[in-house]
Amino acid sequence: MENVQVFRIQILAIIGSGLLIIFILELIRRKKLKEEFAVLWLTMGIVFLVISLFRKLLDKFSLLVGIGYPPAALFLILIMGLTVILIHFSVAISRLKEENKKLAQELGLLRKELEDK
């Protein structure tokens, strides 16, 4: 009974990670997602796919870092991945904000030059 349950969640996890990867690839194909952002998401999808294909890896990883309950390691990996992605977003937004400011300033200055002519 227990084996069936584990098998079921493993199948679901493989399908879930697979769908994530396909979804990201599809977004890139339709040019809705820049590669810069896709790389992190794809990495995360692949990591989860690998973990769901080879369940032993998770146990080994938990043992390695000293987590007694392997599913908790899953959350750790997930949270770390999301944190990296969010920081990446903040950096990207800051850069956009700076570029946006420069564009607005340039636009204002140019408009004045035009008016002065």
Partner 1 sequence: MSRLVIYFLAVLARKYVKKIIIIPAFNEEANIGSVLASVKESCPDFDVLVINDGSTDKTLNIARSFAFARTIDLPINLGIGGAVQTGFLHSRRHGYGLAVQIDGDGQHKPSEVSKITAPILRDEADVVIGSRFMEKGSYKKAMFRRAGIRLFSWTNRILLGERITDSTSGFRSYNKKAIAVLSEDYPDDYPEPEAVFILKRKGLRIKEVPVEMATRAGGKSSISVLGSIYYMIKVFLAIFVLMLRKQE
Handedness of CA 96, 99, 103, 109 (dihedral sign): positive
d(CA 96, CA 102): 10
Task: Kindly list the residues in this chain that would bind partner 1 in the complex (CB under 8 A).
Answer: 97, 100-101, 104-105, 107-109, 111-112, 116
Q: Nearer to partner 1 by C-beta: 60 or 95? A: 95
Q: CB of 102: closest distance to partner 1 in angstroms? A: 9
In angstroms, give the least distance from the CB of 104 to partner 1: 5
The three-state secondary structure class of 3 is helix
Angle between the 35-53 and 55-65 helix axes, to the nearest 10 degrees?
Answer: 100
Q: Of 75 and 105, which has the nearer Cβ to partner 1? A: 105
Nearer to partner 1, 68 or 108 (CB): 108
Q: In terms of CB distance, is 82 or 107 closer to partner 1?
A: 107
DSSP 65-93: HT-SSHHHHHHHHHHHHHHHHHHHHHHHH
Smallest distance from partner 1 to CB 96, Å: 13
